[in-house]
Structure 1
Amino acid sequence: MPITIADVAARAKVSKTTVSRVLNGKGELDESTAARVRAVIDELGYVPSSRAVGLARGRTRVVGMLVPSLTWPWIGEVLQGAVDVLETERYGLLLFTCNRGEESMRQFGAQVSAKSFDGLLVIEPEGTLDYIATLHRRGLPVVLIDDRDQTSGEIPSVGTTNHDGAGSAARHLLEIGRTRPLVIAGPEQFGCTRQRLAGFASVFAEAGHPITEDRRLPGDFTVARGVAGVQAAIESGVEFDAVFAHNDLSAIGAMQALRDAGRRIPEDVAVVGFDDIPTAAHTQPPLTTVHQPLREMGEAAARTLLAHFEGTPLPNRPTVIPTTFTTRPSTTA
């Protein structure tokens, strides 16, 4: 049978309350008594319930993290950044996904009600922002890792420069002489899609090469839509010498369709993505892309939450970590 706190108290000839105080470092205790209790704990190999200790301390030392799914390639980078910070500070992570829709959210809500974690990091599953905001208003510390650029500012967030990142892609294409880009967008309801469209289009317009409607294609951040977008453009006779995709997966799909159509990359068509997921460096040819600071965003969000636990107010404005630009052979032979 497992060793209990009652066993420790009986062997040390103290009360269970005294054992609890030793475990939690609370209250005035005679040092010889505390030493005797610690010796018995070591002798019996007693391991206290982390949940019980957390409740006694008023803190679980666990952070929750809610994400849509683990299938998106960039989520692992954000997650690793958060974990690096949490583990360094001896916090645990309780991870929730929305793979099963409403059932997943019910399970998540039960853990919120049980106060299983001290605060929450969120990569917003679509349609849950109002619920997350309600939890925050009710007192749950929340930091949003905002990949969609659509927050109202009510929830503290960490984001990046979608508009400027897309602008850097446009300037690069103009510098290498490409003036007729095809744009494969992200989901239109996402703020990041609007920001990337605006940042890219404004640079081309200022250079005297406005992007016409026939070269702006809807997308959904998948390889399949990247393939379909380029195929549709070729079949309809749209002339283009570059592709700017709103994420790397769409860019990879575009490259596949270009190869299938016999078009050389980058000689005939230069291709630029957005994210800089690990796969981007290993495509054929390697993909030029806007580097999102994914791991840094996870780190910053975790640090913000932990600082709040130590008394620092949550920020009332987004933390913005800028994008950078990574040039590879998909644009420069």
Structure 2
Amino acid sequence: MRVTIAEVARRARVSKTTVSRVLNNKSDVDAATAVRVREVIAATGYIPSAGAVGLAKGRTRLVGVLVPGLSPAGVGEVLQGVADVVEESDHGLLLSTAARGADSLARFTHQVRAHAFDGLLLLDPPPAVTDNDALRDSDLPVVVVDGARSVFPSVTGDDAAGAAAVARHFLARGRRRVAVVTGPGEDAAARLAGFRSVLEEAGSSLTGDAVTETVSTAGGGRSAVRQLVASGLAFDAVFACDDVVAAGVLTGLREAGRTVPEDVVVAGFGDLPLAVFTQPPLTTVRRPLRALGETAARRLLGKLTGDTPLDGMTVLPTELVVRESAP
């Protein structure tokens, strides 16, 4: 059952007008009352509508952030970048996840229709979010982080260039019998395309057996190595499309009796904290995770506070980090 402004007022022992004035950050509400009202809002999950906020343009002074979940690698670093920028402004953050599937989407749709925020940041959103009719029909400013094919303005890392740098690194060290362990999604596809393009320019290629798709877990990387070994494919290098998978690849190679980097060199993607703790430490591509969040937040706030045009894609550079797994 949806919480109303009347229910918030009843629990906080104030009038609906007072609740509205708190939502509008009016200075004529005493501090203790404002704190009590905000505590009730937080406890009940009340979502203020544009009418409840009471501003002509429906300003809530909130930036909405929708993430796939809090456990996926890198999400926290992107969120920190968002928070660093938003907290310097006079806006707050309203964080939601898409972790509960249809239930999450229904709540998100309700928030959009209720104008629960002035603008929205979407982190690696599923199609069900970007194709959402309520969002498309709203006039909400939206910026997508890692949405290469999104219809909304976006900020992303140059994943294809990062993967291309890995391919050049392998070739420069004489490793031409290359296998790739990839995963689902547009990011992995961009990395595979960038890696493949360099090999083709060098007169090499990736056969069907050399590309293995798996889930983005360490177990998936381990299983992919078992599959590569069972196929009889001769390989002296493995590029895994993310660091978690690469960690599993290292485990699978040890179990198969292959030494790294002597027999096989390995590279990942992301430069997650685990990359320096694998055995051996992982060569990888550093994605500017915090900068992605900062840039997306600045673009959105620029629209909210200064009517800065909001369109197109911002692409941030990636960086090859060489460690012992592919020296």
Taking structure 1 as the reference length, what is the TM-score of the superposition? 0.82
Which deviates more from structure 2 when the two are superposed, residues 297-306 or residues 214-223?
Answer: 214-223
Q: Which residue of 2 aligns with 1:174?
A: 171
Q: Are 1:24 and 1:56, in contact at CA under 8 Å, matched by a contact in 2? A: no
Report the residue type matching 1:96 in the other structure.
S
1: distance between equivalents of 2:159 and 2:133?
Answer: 23
SS of aligned partner of 1:159 = strand
Q: Which residue of 2 aligns with 1:24?
A: 26
Q: Which residue of 2 aligns with 1:30?
A: none
1:87 lines up with 2:87 in the alignment:
yes
Q: Which residue of 2 aligns with 1:47?
A: 34
Q: Equivalent residues in 2 for 1:192-207 (5 A)?
A: 192-207=187-202
1: distance between equivalents of 2:17 and 2:243?
Answer: 58
2: distance between equivalents of 1:46 and 1:208?
Answer: 72
SS of aligned partner of 2:87 = helix
Q: Equivalent residues in 2 for 1:180-329 (5 A)?
A: 180-187=177-184, 190-329=185-324
Q: Are 2:179 and 2:235, in contact at CA under 8 Å, matched by a contact in 1? A: yes
Question: 5+ residue gaps in structure 1?
Answer: 9-15, 26-36
Report the residue type matching 1:298 in the other structure.
G
Q: Which residue of 1 aligns with 2:73?
A: 73
Which deviates more from structure 2 when the two are superposed, residues 69-78 or residues 190-199?
Answer: 190-199
Change (3 A) 1:137 1:324: farther
Please give the root-mean-square deviation of Cα atoms over the aligned residues, in Å: 2.8
Change (3 A) 1:132 1:295: farther
SS of aligned partner of 1:308 = helix
1: distance between equivalents of 2:272 and 2:128?
Answer: 25
Shift of 1:265: 1.1
Change (3 A) 1:7 1:325: closer
Q: Deviations over 1:35-93 (max 9, x none)?
A: xx68xx36xx4326466998144422211111111121111111111111111214221
Q: Are 1:173 and 1:242, in contact at CA under 8 Å, matched by a contact in 2? A: yes
Taking structure 2 as the reference length, what is the TM-score of the superposition? 0.84
Shift of 1:216: 1.0
1: distance between equivalents of 2:157 and 2:245?
Answer: 20
Change (3 A) 1:7 1:213: closer
1: distance between equivalents of 2:310 and 2:17?
Answer: 46
Q: Which residue of 1 aligns with 2:62?
A: 62
1: distance between equivalents of 2:16 and 2:53?
Answer: 18
Shift of 1:167: 0.4
Report the residue type matching 1:62 in the other structure.
L
2: distance between equivalents of 1:77 and 1:6?
Answer: 39
2: distance between equivalents of 1:201 and 1:116?
Answer: 44
Q: Which residue of 1 aligns with 2:5?
A: none
Q: Of the two, which has the highest radius of gyration?
A: 1
Change (3 A) 1:7 1:249: closer
SS of aligned partner of 1:295 = helix
Q: Are 1:243 and 1:270, in contact at CA under 8 Å, matched by a contact in 2? A: yes
Q: Deviations over 1:234-257 (max 9, x none)?
A: 112111111101111111110110
Q: Are 2:236 and 2:265, in contact at CA under 8 Å, matched by a contact in 1? A: yes
Q: Are 2:269 and 2:286, in contact at CA under 8 Å, matched by a contact in 1? A: yes
2: distance between equivalents of 1:286 and 1:81?
Answer: 26
Shift of 1:198: 1.8
**Identical aligned residues as a percent:** 41
2: distance between equivalents of 1:244 and 1:23?
Answer: 52
Question: 5+ residue gaps in structure 2?
Answer: 1-10, 39-47
SS of aligned partner of 1:128 = helix
Q: Deviations over 1:203-254 (max 9, x none)?
A: 1122222222211111232222211111111112111111101111111110
Q: Are 1:166 and 1:199, in contact at CA under 8 Å, matched by a contact in 2? A: yes
Shift of 1:7: 12
1: distance between equivalents of 2:223 and 2:112?
Answer: 41
